[in-house]
Chains A and B, each alone.
Chain A
Amino acid sequence: MKEINFPYKDINRDILRSLEKPGLLYVAIVSMVVAGVIFGGYCWGYQLVKGMGVAGLNHPVGWGVYITDFVFWVGIGHAGTLISAILFLFRARWRNAIFRSAEAMTIFAVMTAGLFPVIHVGRAWVAWWLIPYPNQRELWVNFRSPLLWDVFAVSTYFSVSVLFFSLGLVPDVAVIRDKAKGLRRSIYRYIALGWASTTEQWRHYMAGYGFLAALATPLVLSVHSVVSWDFAVSIVPGWHSTIFAPYFVAGAVFSGMAMVVTILIPFRKIFGIEKYLTPWHFDNMGKLIVLTSTIVSYAYATEYFIAYYGDDPFEQFIFWERTFGHYALPFWLMVICNCIVPIPLWFPKVRRHLPTFFVLSIFINVGMWFERFNIIVSSLAQDYDPFAWGWYVPSWVEMGITLGSFCWFFMWFLLFIKYFPAMAITEMKEIADPPMKHASAGHMEVA
């Protein structure tokens, strides 16, 4: 722990440095991702004008890349709440340096995920019919449908994540407010909500923060469970399985942690905060990735065992086809990236060698995207009746929107780190030794 123990003043100075005037590299990266967002927006506009025919979706594969993206992005959003809520309750002190970025990532990932059901329904202007409200047709939504559970689960997850994230930001915004001048100070004064850093405020704040963490913990486990029931509650071969909930949750944490690593390794370098984000943090994240990769690999094997032992010919057929059939490529990409690529992370040296870890994390992200694609598309393409079979190939519109979604996600993250501290200042102080006159630990100041 001593390696991230710095004087309070240094913590303020070092973390707030990321809010200074951006350099050329930052501007260039932001311009690139904004261009990607514009391209994605163009593709969606094209689909709205021309109709859903421009997407590769057709009978029998009605769910394709859009739902793949939705499930992928909801999964990416899981690491943030896991790190900020679950690790908070477990008092894992290594979370303090990374939870703010991970939480921001959660918000932006769920914002990205939320776009896809709207894009997928085609007539985006009636997507709000999913929300139950009194209307002149006297119709109500069907609360027995897993799709509606999903609406409630994802919107609750987004709302609670935003609340949790915003609450955590308040004391740090007060830090910016007290450092800023002029108009900037006035703006941050409003966002700081009157925070004065008194023990009385901290008392209620910490109590509430703990309760929010306790509420967010079952929530994070429930969200991807509910997403998995979109599939598991149906009777489609390859989907109708009781292991889907834990399997999806483990996969979500796995992909989310990989994305945190992908983002934080360049981030620490660009903003010169290597002494706050040390190999020790990545070592711990690597352990979580190893754990979840093992669970996911076990789940893959269990699916095959269930198909074999269940003796259902349709189930057996779909798993045979996934492995050796038309969609074998996404399957093997999934297996290689999610089960084999993470194996080197069992070794501490690899977890602490950040360039290697960065490359592995990208492979895991790719593997997890293909996992969702594999589950969704292969089952729909070859359902019970061979007469109804059909192959799905994503169109350029779908891939353009997917590319745009990645740019959209990174755009928000890049904007965030320029206006708010990407590391929690007050929580970094919590794990540092306080300034003491008569103590012998930490950065003691001896007269």
Chain B
Amino acid sequence: MKATVSGVLGIFSHMDVLIEAITKFRGEGRTDITVYTPTPRHELAHAMEEKVSPVRLWTLIGGLTGCTTGYLFTSFVSLDWILPTSGKAVVSLQAYTVIAFELTILFGSIFTIMGIINHARMFRKRTLPYDDRFTEDKFGIFVPCGEGDYDSVSSTMRDRGAEEVSCG
């Protein structure tokens, strides 16, 4: 798929070289770089100075929604069609706790997935250059820049250990 954002893509074989390159780019104020890695690594997260993901808020909102729905829905249906059973309360909150618990987990999970899809920008067309080897054993850095800066950024990328550099 053709990339729609222009810039320079560098491919790296070694993680320590990649981390050095990230540190230098970020040291120069280039916080708009995109880094590719076959597997998540704490070292890369530190180099990218990653913040805590907002996905946790989705989980919290989902869980609270599920719990509330569980109690309200069961109470509503019990009052809508009253089923007297010996001396038991029509609205039996203890019994409904099981349903509320299950819906807390269910809604929390669904909202978490929605949060990941939203923040990780899944289900969207790729706009940045990509190399199939990023899911195998190669790492990458993409620096967005205009056509006029291709030469200088490519040269910097090579100086910082990139084994292959492509522009576009």
Contact = CB atoms under 8 A, between A and B. Distances in A.
A178 B59 CA distance: 31
A94 B39 CA distance: 17
B112 A215 contact: yes
Interface string A156-180: 1001100110010011001101110
Given A132-B77, A195-B122, A196-B126, A144 B88 contact: yes
Interface residues of B, number: 69
B119 interface: yes
Given A8-B38, A435-B15, A203 B96 contact: no
A74 B19 CA distance: 46
A222 B116 contact: no
B125 interface: yes
Interface string A126-142: 00000010000011111
Interface in A200-249: 200-208, 211-212, 215-216, 218-219, 222, 226
Contacts of B59: 208, 211, 215
B41 A149 contact: no
B103 A152 contact: yes
A53 interface: no
A193 interface: yes
Contact of B102 (A156, A175, A194, A439): A156
Contacts, number: 196
A436 interface: yes
Interface string B68-109: 000001100110110101001000100110110111011011
B55 interface: yes
A179 B132 contact: yes
A155 B63 CA distance: 17
B112 A212 contact: yes
B137 A222 contact: no
Nearest to B117: A193
A175 B135 contact: yes
B109 A204 contact: no
A177 B103 CA distance: 35
B112 A178 contact: no
Given A152-B103, A196-B130, A435-B15, A212 B109 contact: yes
A242 to B, nearest CB: 15
A211 B56 contact: yes
B10 to A, nearest CB: 14
Given A7-B137, A204-B55, A205-B116, A434 B41 contact: yes
A208 B115 contact: yes
A144 B112 contact: no
Contacts of A167: 113, 116
B120 interface: yes
A9 interface: yes
A438 B14 CA distance: 9
B78 to A, nearest CB: 7
A369 to B, nearest CB: 26
B134 interface: yes
Contact of A211 (B37, B55, B103, B120): B55
Contacts of A141: 77
Contacts of A178: 132-136
B64 interface: no
Contacts of B52: 207
A429 interface: yes
A376 interface: no
Contacts of B136: 8-9, 12, 175, 178-179
**In the complex, the 4 A-B pairs of residues with the closest C-beta atoms, listed nearest first:** A207-B53, A8-B137, A178-B132, A140-B77
Interface of A: 7-9, 12, 132, 138-144, 148-149, 152-153, 156, 159-160, 163-164, 167, 170-171, 174-175, 177-179, 193-208, 211-212, 215-216, 218-219, 222, 226, 426-427, 429-430, 434-439, 445
5 contacts: A152-B98, A160-B105, A222-B105, A438-B16, A445-B14
